[in-house]
Structure 1
Amino acid sequence: MDPAPQYIDEPGDETPRSATSRWLVIGAALVVMLIVGFGLGALTTRLIDTDPAPGTPGTGSVEVGFAQDMSVHHLQAVTMAGWARDHTADPAIKTLAFDIERTQTGQVGRMKGWLGLWGQPEQTTGAYMTWMTEPMSGHAGHGGPGMKPSNGAPMPGMATSAELAKLRSLTGKEMDVFFLQLMLRHHVGGTAMAQYGNDHTAIADVKSLTRSMLVSQGAEITLMKGLLQERGAAPLPD
């Protein structure tokens, strides 16, 4: 008797179940990144605390304010990137969105790890950006207590609720372009905050993370400008 025929899936075959499984794996990986980031933040802060020179950052410090506010800022980027990753057919957009989602999820975990060991809440109970007492370079008016961007978003670069709703309403190239525009503006605001944190902290691990943000987001800013140009679009006006 001849052996039973063996069937090999073609490269393009993908059932709904396999697609669902793939995104479950990606989602699980992002959760792991958040947990690992949290653990890394806790570990490195414990090591920092053995050196009494910097001390433990307190309420109102640059380090605590940066970790609280940048976590909120990052989580919006993760939300936008997750939406774009799931709804684009453009491989370049999908790759960019996944990279942003993965990187910033890990960084959020790291910052929340610091806050836990510093005995600080994960989010500020007052106004955003009160830890920034000087105007940000290139963003005059965005520094200082209670200052907000002109579009009404809580922090520089962040999208408004209306803009997020618009992103979810678009499809195809229009969605890709608007995602790039929102994320480019988001990165510009975030890098200005990271630069301020880098310039005003004496804690080595905080300085290391802010430098990492400046490098990775700086490269993504250049990439997104190029992707917009390729698609015949321009950044959002300041």
Structure 2
Amino acid sequence: MRLGRTEGAAISAVALALLFAGGAVTVASADRDEAPSTPVSSSADAGFARDMSVHHQQAVEMSFIVRDRTKDEEVRRLAYDIANTQANQRGMMLGWLDLWGLPKNVSGVEPMAWMGMGVSADAESLDGALMPGMATDAQLDELRGASGREAEVLYLKLMTAHHRGGVHMAEGCVQKCGVDIERNLAQGMVDAQTSEMALMADMLRKRGA
């Protein structure tokens, strides 16, 4: 799969997001009189969209890396599915931020602050892992240098941890987000990534890891 194809799918997702998100905001505000018609920058809706977009981008990156490092069709198929799904979801979330007129990056706001558990993005010890579950720069370099079974096992382990962190964040949005369509997307992430973690555990067992 070429990156251009994934970006094209993400652009299509943005268009769909723009069509449906406006109606979802209206419905959400109608159901919740106290909620603003459009999320504010400090809201859980905006925070989740920003943070999960960053989280998803790394999953896409790792999936492209492993597709170049192994010929195993099972792992390559999983990597394609994850890259395609998360690129599309990322496009939707960035589209919502555009629709709401909110910035995609906010200086001085720690990742996951919207969940009440901000993570310092400046800590050197994080080594690029800005949120729970994200791989460090060193781990990404290790994946780039691996091949065959070694790359497969490392990818499956890193992506399992990545999904675990992603599920935690998505569950936070299910509880805190005020826009129905965004909460539904977050619940879909919980369900799909939980299923993929079970699949990856089985794949690791097959590889004796």
When normalised by structure 2's length, the TM-score is: 0.89
Q: 2:52 aligns with which of 70, 91, 98?
A: 70
Distance 2:66 2:82 in 1: 11
Q: 2:114 aligns with which of 126, 131, 136?
A: 131
Q: 2:184 aligns with which of 208, 215, 222?
A: 208
1:115 and 2:125 equivalent?
A: no
Contact preservation (8 Å) 1:69, 1:123: no
**DSSP-derived class of the 1:131 partner:** helix
Structure 1 portions without partners, runs of 5+? 1-22, 134-143, 234-238
Map 1:111-190 → 2, pairs under 5 A: 111-125=93-107, 126-133=109-116, 144-146=117-119, 152=126, 153-190=129-166
Report percent identity of matched pairs: 39
Distance 2:74 2:165 in 1: 23
1:167-187 CA-to-partner distances (Å, cap 9, x unmatched) read: 101111111100111001000
| Larger RCO (CA under 8 A, 6+ residues apart) | 2
* 1:11 alignment partner in structure 2: none
Larger helix proportion, structure 1 or 2?
2
* 2:68 alignment partner in structure 1: 86
* Structure 1 residue 147 displacement after superposition: 5.5
Contact preservation (8 Å) 1:159, 1:186: yes
Structure 2 portions without partners, runs of 5+? none
Contact preservation (8 Å) 2:75, 2:152: yes
Contact preservation (8 Å) 2:25, 2:179: no
Distance 1:154 1:132 in 2: 14
* 1:103 alignment partner in structure 2: 85
Contact preservation (8 Å) 1:65, 1:124: no
* 2:175 alignment partner in structure 1: 199
Contact preservation (8 Å) 2:67, 2:76: yes
* 1:33 alignment partner in structure 2: 9
**DSSP-derived class of the 1:95 partner:** helix
Distance 1:172 1:48 in 2: 45
Distance 2:192 2:119 in 1: 28
Return structure 1 stretches of 4+ with deviation > 4 angstroms. none
Aligned residues: 199
**DSSP-derived class of the 1:197 partner:** helix
Distance 2:25 2:156 in 1: 40
Distance 2:11 2:174 in 1: 24
1:128-187 CA-to-partner distances (Å, cap 9, x unmatched) read: 111011xxxxxxxxxx123579x7221010001111001101111111100111001000
